[in-house]
Structure 1
Amino acid sequence: MQISKLVLILLFILQTTCFRFNLKRNSEQCFYEKFPNNTKVNLDCVAMSDRNSFFSLNISSKDNNTIFQKNKIQETSFSFVSSQISEYSFCFSNKDFSTQPKNNEINLYIYSRLPLKFQDLTKETGILSNDQLQQIDNFGDRLGFLADDLLYINKLLDYLKTREKVHRNTSESTNTRVLYSSFCLTFLIIIVGTGQIWYLKKSFKDWLKKKQD
């Protein structure tokens, strides 16, 4: 029973949004998240399609106050502290880039942690007593650090998968080019060899005809 109460409290402290979406060519896509005041918000995003995939990112509050803006990026990390209770927009765009894949696959992580102590939550919820909360005062921060580390590991794994995918596509493309080049070179050698045989045969016939004359 106490564990379920503790989990309920942690839901007030940690909030994570993690998903993957496709950003179509010459398009813009926005996501909206509402955060309480004085909440630390961390964002990590990376383009997964290939090494030539870029996007622009704009983060702004509901009153159109720009918090973060950057163009032509493949991967970025950013953190800020919400200054008010507001809905924040995270807008991705690739309208400024002409050489883009049809679908630019992007991984997005948004995780926030409320800077509240368990005692503060107890005053509002009354779920646990002060004596119990004294023993786990710093547990929320430790759990938040653990969540950050786990998200970093997850992001690193996605990066390794992306790099492996790009290298595999590059290797397959190189192998295809080598195969086609081999076919073309073989065809060229056959043509040159056939031409040389025909030329030598013709030259020998002309020489033999002149000798007979």
Structure 2
Amino acid sequence: MDLTNIFVVLVTLCLVTIDAIRFHLSPNQKKCLREEIHKDVLVTGDYEVSDAPGQKANLMVTDSKSHILYSKEDAKKGRFAFTTEEYDMFEVCFDTKMVGGGQGSDREISLDMKHGVEARSYEELAKAEKLKPLEVELRRLEDLSKSIVDDFAYMRAREEEMRDTNESTHSRVMYFSLFSMCCLLGLATWQVLYLRRYFKAKKLIE
């Protein structure tokens, strides 16, 4: 690993923060959170829903094709995990329902989602492979650097795709402009010739 990669890893470690999301959800309401995640990435989520008499909270995790990745009825506290098969937009939805009708109080929902290096349990990996603390840290740094490289590669691919789209659009606009100019010149020439024949027919000009 060269100095540039080490610097990028250290900067990323300084910038990475993990914050749980907390929000309140009224009875018979639904709230969804969306996030874009790359291909072959481990995603984990820890959730906790506050107690409320006469209410049930349901949790559902889906992708953009409406495939259900995780579903839990009467969700209170738990954890879900899945690995992405392709780059996609994923949605985590909570909805609350009154069981016996009437009015209920808002419920506080806490959600802590992690993906990639953050979601991996290096403690279990150390136990399984009998790694030393330094080896575990090196493995984590290696995975983090690979994640950064993959992100850069994806950004470069997107940049190339956008550049190709811009060049294609530019070419189409240029050809359309030339075609429009030719049409205007042809129309103007036809109009001049037509008016000239018309005026000659009416003997207004010689």
TM superposition score normalised by structure 1: 0.48
TM superposition score normalised by structure 2: 0.50
